[in-house]
Amino acid sequence: MADILIRKEGRAGRLTLNRPQALNALTHAICLETERALLDWRDDPEVAVVILDAAGDRAFCAGGDIAQVTAAGRQGDYAMGRDFWRDEYRMNLLFSRYPKPVVSFLNGFVMGGGVGYGCHVGHRIVGESTQMAMPECGIGLIPDVGGTWLLARAPGALGVYLALTAARMGPGDAIHAGFADAFVPQTDWDAVKDRLIETGDPATLPRHAAPESPLAAAQAVIDRLFAGADIPAIVAALRADESPLAAGALKAILRNAPLSMASTLAMLRPPPASLAEALAQEFRWTWRSMEHGDFIEGVRAQILDKDRNPRWQHPTPEAVTPAEVARMLAPLGAQELTIA
């Protein structure tokens, strides 16, 4: 069975992620096939709209399939990961610049690479099961696939909170944070897709009231606790606060890779000027992530060995220096991400 189902139906081009047993995790091949389909349909008069969805009930896409990348990296081969990220980021930007409307249906887990696949398009639909997050700092990476662009545009300090804690967003939260556009009950999704296939017109998308957003209700608290200029300042504010939100956030932050968190904060403040700029900056970091960062160790601890006891190169957030962050984000010269 193909990992992605690519076909034309009526007025629509359809891309369905088809690895439900792997929570529809993205592979390098899926990214390349997606790009080819989008380029084929760009000037195809039969295709008026593109529909993104996924097989199974559990996930639209829970992230990138990083097992092969880290296996190669552990052997000193960093090229596989670098090639994957380069092509994936090019696909992310293509989605954002696509001249035809694209509608994504974001059910279940939408994390990491899934955010990059479904959240840079013009019409992002969430439902009751949506659970969205950017958990990369927990595996020694940074919120990539354009994640820093989305996070930097979230209200107040919400993007910093989401990046540093990997907090999950339900449908109302995803809309409040700017990661999604509209809520549609999932029992209606098939009928909504059928109308898109018939008409090719996203104006047929229904309008429903957005569910309540717990993050919107906590916005003022989040803005206060995450206003610090660096990670140690944020940790200090969380330690001094007795709220359940602060306690949960502190527990999450103290588990994460200090270098990843310090770098992420530097990528959000000041915010990137465009998605292309965000992706270029993210690529500098991920290009170095296996050789100089904590990515291989993070994947070992959280995904491969599952001992949940990563040995980060920095024991505390205070141990990270600005020079180390600058090195991770320095230009790559001939290896820079260039996107036509």
Q: Are 164 and 264 in contact (CB under 8 A)?
A: yes
Question: From residue 295, how far is each of 75, 251, 283 by CA, in Å?
Answer: 14, 20, 14
pLDDT tens profile 120-129:
999 999 999 9
pLDDT for position 105: 98
pLDDT tens profile 298-327:
999 998 889 999 999 999 999 999 999 999
Domain ranges of the chain: 4-335
Containing 125, the helix (H) or strand (E) segment is strand 123-126
pTM confidence score: 0.97
Mean pLDDT lowest among 9-23, 58-72, 82-96: 58-72
Q: Are 261 and 285 in contact (CB under 8 A)?
A: no
In the predicted model, what is the mean pLDDT of residues 224-239? 98
Scanning the structure block, which residue is given the tokens 């900056």? 281
Determine the Cα–Cα distance for residues 73 and 67; give it in Å rounded to an integer: 10
pLDDT for position 222: 98
Determine the Cα–Cα distance for residues 200 and 49; give it in Å rounded to an integer: 5
Determine the Cα–Cα distance for residues 271 and 7; give it in Å rounded to an integer: 38
Nearest to 153 by CA among 249, 273, 234: 273
pLDDT for position 340: 65
Q: Are 180 and 110 in contact (CB under 8 A)?
A: no
Question: From residue 152, how far is each of 55, 160, 165, 272, 285 by CA, in Å?
Answer: 31, 8, 15, 7, 17
Q: String of b and e for 292-325 (b: at least 16 CB within 10 Å)?
A: ebbbbbbbbbbeeeeeeebebbbeebeebeeebb
**170 in the Ramachandran plot: left (φ > 0), alpha (ψ -120 to 50) or beta?**
beta
pLDDT for position 50: 98
Determine the Cα–Cα distance for residues 138 and 252; give it in Å rounded to an integer: 8
- For residue 141, which amino acid is it? L
CA atoms within 13 A on the CB side of 237: 17
Q: String of b and e for 92-131 (b: at least 16 CB within 10 Å)?
A: bbbbbebebbbbbbbbbbbbbbbbbbbbbbbbbbbbebbb
Q: Which CATH number fits domain 4-335: 3.40.605.10, 3.90.226.10, 3.30.930.10, 3.30.565.10?
A: 3.90.226.10
